[in-house]
Structure 1
Amino acid sequence: MPQIISAVPVPFTRDGSVDVAEYEAALRSLSDHADGVLIAGTTGEFPALDDSERLDVFRRAAALLGPERVIAHVGHASSRQVLRLADATAAEGISRFALLSPYYLPSDADGVVGFFRALTEAHPEAAVYAYVFPERTGMEVPPVLLREVMRLPGMAGVKLSGGAAARLPEYAAALGDGQELFSGDDGRLPWVVDQGGTGVVSGVSSAFPQTFAALARALAEGDTGRARAVQEDVARLVELTGPSVSRLKAALAARTGGEWACRMPLPSVADDLRAEIAGAVAQFR
């Protein structure tokens, strides 16, 4: 069955504090619908979280959903920081890590491979997912380089976002047997499956978990008519709420009644668009 991994936003109050009650309620709402969760990724505004906050949201997700369903993003600018966070995360019983490729300062092939090797060697028991997002990191990880990364012991799969997701068939050829391929383009699950992908890592599924679960189920059952109809709904929801974290949080606020503020300086959501998002939430609950 195609997998839905929800990329869960971190809810903040307007004073910037983590809203623990809202976060835990969001996790509970995913329990029956998502195969797993990606915590503190791009959708989780990870650059705005300190390590103690990241560890806390990891811990809470593992407590509510089980550590086997949690993929903890331990990405940082240096291997020293990555390993410090990974050590603390592993101590909580979490053994699935996502790691964003090096960012901000440019690197080369040896630097990229060495960055992932540092984590896999320090935590040989972990399942590590490469996280490739060229628009956010400022550098490409071409398929030929990803192939080298995926040969490292402990590499379990890859998550492709942005321009890399559009090149999914090229990247698929870089994976070995048993390695998983996830797309961050959550509006294209049928295409991802057709190309041999495992599923999507979806921020939008955090606000509309039942709809995404229904699509995965229809695809698994070979119900093409049902899958086509639900895919139309998913495409609409992704277009409406997927382009920004602030839109997604507007959907979650409409769903739960919480503030779901952003800590990073993200674009505001106009009142008319917020009303349209609230209407979609009311329709797809």
Structure 2
Amino acid sequence: MSSSENQSVLTASTAPATSPSDLITAVPTPFLADGSLDVPGMKRLFTALATRDVDGAFVAGTTGEFTTLEDDERLAVLEAGLETFGPERAYLHVGAAHTRHAVNLTRAAVSLGARKLAAITPYYFPAPLEAVIDYFRQVVDAADGAAVYAYLFTARTWTAVPHDALPRLAELGVTGVKISGETDESVAAYLAHAPAGFEVLSGNDIAYGELVQAGGQGIISGVSSVFPQPFLNLRGALRAGDADGVSAAKADVARAVGLVRAGSLTHLKAGLELQGLSAGPVRAAVEAISDEDRAAIARELERWNG
């Protein structure tokens, strides 16, 4: 069976989770009506998200519209994320289209106090494996001991990293991977090739339960920024080995993912603004949310929040 970001991946039992079941929220970046970075709003949003019982926050990633940020803006977002979530909960994304840029961002993030970094592979031009290996070698060196996660997203970057390359990444000092946009079979193959202690995280919100039960570390979820409770309920049931709770929570997660179109930026930001949180427009050129979808998100928020 194949999967996309709004389909379940991996067949797994409802046995107790053997990995930490990490729930990491991918945080959006707020902008003002004129498209400029909303620094005060960003700090308010990050503060609100930080009060939730999540295991971490993925800052300035795809959900954070990193491709639209200028370097000074991106560093401001990274600094705010680090200050709000703290060095053990903030996963700061420093990936770039080329190695020099990623290394410079890595050094800047480390100088701010970052201890957990993520870097998407080189993108736009599909990079061969040896170029990817050299890219992560230099990022790890620049990280100066901070954990580095390789962000694999072939559908957006055109750069494919073979499943059997994970041991080579581990040898470089890469801590783990975040995988987005892959099929069930591909995710399973990455898990099979991951060395002991190498963390496998997924960007597929709806696959949280299956990935953890198959041995993955956890999820990096944009949808949880709007609807945290279904994901928190699923994490709790996974950690408790509560089969009935897992089943019920998976259904709620699937419902939430469907309502925000598997993490559509416009849907996520609408969901945040409906809760009185700063979000603003989407800077990237994407489709607007319909009135019907906005109303459906509002009804679901009322269901969860009373």
TM-score relative to the length of structure 1:
0.94
Secondary structure at the aligned position of 1:163 is classed as coil
Per the alignment, residue 181 of structure 2 pairs with 162
The alpha carbon displacement at 1:259 in A equals 5.1
| Matches of 2:183 and 2:152, distance apart in 1 | 7
Distance 1:243 1:27, change over 3 A: closer
Asked if the contact 1:104–1:137 (Cα under 8 Å) also holds between the matched residues in 2, the reply is yes
In structure 1, runs of 5+ residues without a counterpart are: none
Distance 2:89 2:205 in 1: 19
Question: Structure 1 257/120 Cα, relative in aligned 2: closer, same or farther at 3 Å?
Answer: closer
- Superposed CA deviations along residues 32-76 of structure 1, whole A, max 9, x for unmatched, are 321001111111110101111111111112212211111111011
Partner of 2:275, secondary structure, is: helix
Change (3 A) 1:113 1:259: closer
4+ runs deviating over 4 angstroms: none
Q: Which structure ranks higher in relative contact order (CA pairs < 8 Å, sequence separation ≥ 6)?
A: 2
Q: Does 1:2 align with 2:21?
A: yes
Identify which range, 222-231 or 182-191, moves more after superposition. 222-231
Which residue number in structure 1 is paired with residue 245 of structure 2? 226
1:234-255 CA-to-partner distances (Å, cap 9, x unmatched) read 1110111124111111111112
Question: Whole-Å Cα distance in 2 between the matches of residues 271 and 177 of structure 1?
Answer: 48
Deviation at 1:177, TM superposition (A): 2.0
Residues 83-106 of structure 1: per-residue CA shift (max 9 Å, x gap): 111111101110211111111112
Pairs within 5 Å for 1:1-285? 1-31=20-50, 32-153=52-173, 155-163=174-182, 167-241=186-260, 242-256=262-276, 258=278, 260-285=280-305
CA distance, structure 2, for counterparts of residue 236 and residue 82 of structure 1: 36
What is the count of residue pairs matched by the alignment?
Answer: 284
SS of the residue aligned with 1:44?
Answer: coil
Q: Determine if contact 1:76/1:82 at 8 Å carries over to the other structure.
A: yes
Deviation at 1:149, TM superposition (A): 1.9
Matched AA of 1:96: K
Q: Deviations over 1:3-44 (max 9, x none)?
A: 101110101122112223332233223333210011111111
TM-score by length of 2: 0.88
Summarize the Cα distance change of 1:6–1:59 in structure 2 as closer, same or farther, 3 Å threshold: same
Structure 1 residues 62 and 120: alpha-carbon distance in aligned structure 2, compared to 1, 3 A threshold: same
2:48 and 2:304 map into 1 onto residues whose CA distance is: 14
Measured after TM superposition, the shift of residue 173 of structure 1 is 2.1
- CA shift at 1:165, angstroms? 6.5
Partners of 1:79 and 1:162 lie apart in 2 by 23
Determine the C-alpha separation between the residues in 2 that align with 1:166 and 1:246. 30
> SS state of the match for residue 256, structure 1?
coil
Moved more, 99-108 or 22-31: 22-31
The alignment partner of 1:68 has SS state of coil
Cα RMSD, aligned residues only: 1.6
Deviation at 1:258, TM superposition (A): 4.0
- Take 2:187 and 2:165, find their aligned partners in 1: how far apart are those partners? 14
Identity percentage over the alignment? 38
